[in-house]
Structure 1
Amino acid sequence: MARTARISEPEQFTAEERAAMKEHARELKQAARRTSRADKAAEALRDVLAKISEMRDSDRAMAERVHAVVTSSAPSLAPKLWYGMPAYALDGKIICFFQSAAKFKARYATLGFSDQAKLDEGTMWPAGYALTAVTPETEARISALVKQAVS
């Protein structure tokens, strides 16, 4: 008798992934309601700072330092929320983001870069960095990466 392959159940999104998608939908609706460009920028910054303030202690401390380094290293980047994470965009396109460890129950936070970041180096390069602490050395590395990303 021939065996038939079982069709597996489609993979389900985790509760954290579903929550991130819902947050992104809310972010898009909020952004659409904002009127002037200045209002959008000011409210987006408030949203990012509020999201950072909600993080648990270790994630919050790292996110605050990452925010300070990114905004001082690349003033052309606009803070905004992206799937409920602090992110930084150039001309509306995400360049980098901070993902707290708690976001998806990971063991470390992540500084990630999108394909819009100009970090290309040969045929392979990192697009995400694990963060367990933000030291002065880490800040210098983040600054260099962000400057390169927008160059």
Structure 2
Amino acid sequence: MSSTDNGGTYEGFTAEERAAMKDHAHEVKKAARRMSRADKAAEAERDVLAKIAEMQDADRVMAERVHAVVTASAPALAPKLWYGMPAYALDGKVVCFFQSAGKFKARYATLGFSDQARLDDGPMWPAAFALTEVTPEVEERIAALVKRAVG
């Protein structure tokens, strides 16, 4: 926000935003390394699982369930890190991601979908969902959304 937008001064990016940008720069550099496609995929999966393991308890439990549901429901999606978050891509483009509550000190985790997701439903549709718990019913909704997202 510029200093003219609200009469205040521009404070810059938050520490969390700067960390996410740093994570993204690291991810881009790592992806550019010369490796076989299979090696890159295996490394990306390990990176996602390691990032999930670093999360606080409630976020970690939800992220583990989301990861399991996404990978089972849409095997065409490849796990990868995206701005330091577990994400799932089709042909290298992120379709959906899990943002822990701790990532930006939010009160809930988020399951988000990019514009690559085929969730279009008229002139307006949800592209992100708040998660406070991953129940069997939530798992079913996630599975249906992910299947629809990849078409």
Tell me if both proteins adopt one fold, taking TM over 0.5 as the criterion: yes
Alignment partners' CA distance in 2, 1:131 and 1:7: 35
Amino acid at match of 1:130: A
Alignment partners' CA distance in 1, 2:40 and 2:107: 33
1:129-150 Cα deviation digits (max 9, x unpaired): 0000000000000000000000
Amino acid at match of 1:79: P
How far did 1:34 drift?
A: 4.1
Hey, which bits of structure 1, 4+ residues long, moved more than 2 A? 5-11
The number of equivalent residue pairs is 147
Alignment partners' CA distance in 2, 1:7 and 1:136: 48
Alignment partners' CA distance in 1, 2:13 and 2:20: 10
SS in 1 for 2:13: coil
Amino acid at match of 1:133: E
User: How many percent identity over aligned positions?
Assistant: 78
How far did 1:9 drift?
A: 2.9
Comparing 76-85 with 30-39, which one deviates more in the overlay? 30-39
Alignment partners' CA distance in 2, 1:66 and 1:135: 10
SS in 2 for 1:129: strand
Q: CA RMSD in A?
A: 1.3
Q: Which residues in structure 2 correspond to 1:39-58 (within 5 Å)?
A: 39-58=39-58
How far did 1:35 drift?
A: 1.0
Q: What does residue 97 of structure 2 align with?
A: 97
1:87-111 Cα deviation digits (max 9, x unpaired): 0000000000000000000000000
Q: What does residue 107 of structure 1 align with?
A: 107
What 5-or-longer segments of structure 1 have no aligned partner?
A: none
SS in 2 for 1:95: strand
SS in 2 for 1:94: strand
How far did 1:10 drift?
A: 3.0
Comparing 75-84 with 34-43, which one deviates more in the overlay? 34-43
SS in 2 for 1:123: coil
State the TM-score, normalizing by the size of structure 2.
0.94
1:64-118 Cα deviation digits (max 9, x unpaired): 0000000000000000000000000000000000000000000000000000000
Alignment partners' CA distance in 1, 2:150 and 2:35: 27
Tell me, yes or no, if structure 1 residue 125 matches structure 2 residue 122.
no
Amino acid at match of 1:87: A
How far did 1:45 drift?
A: 0.2
Alignment partners' CA distance in 2, 1:57 and 1:83: 21
SS in 1 for 2:70: helix
Highest Rg: 1 or 2?
1
How far did 1:124 drift?
A: 0.3
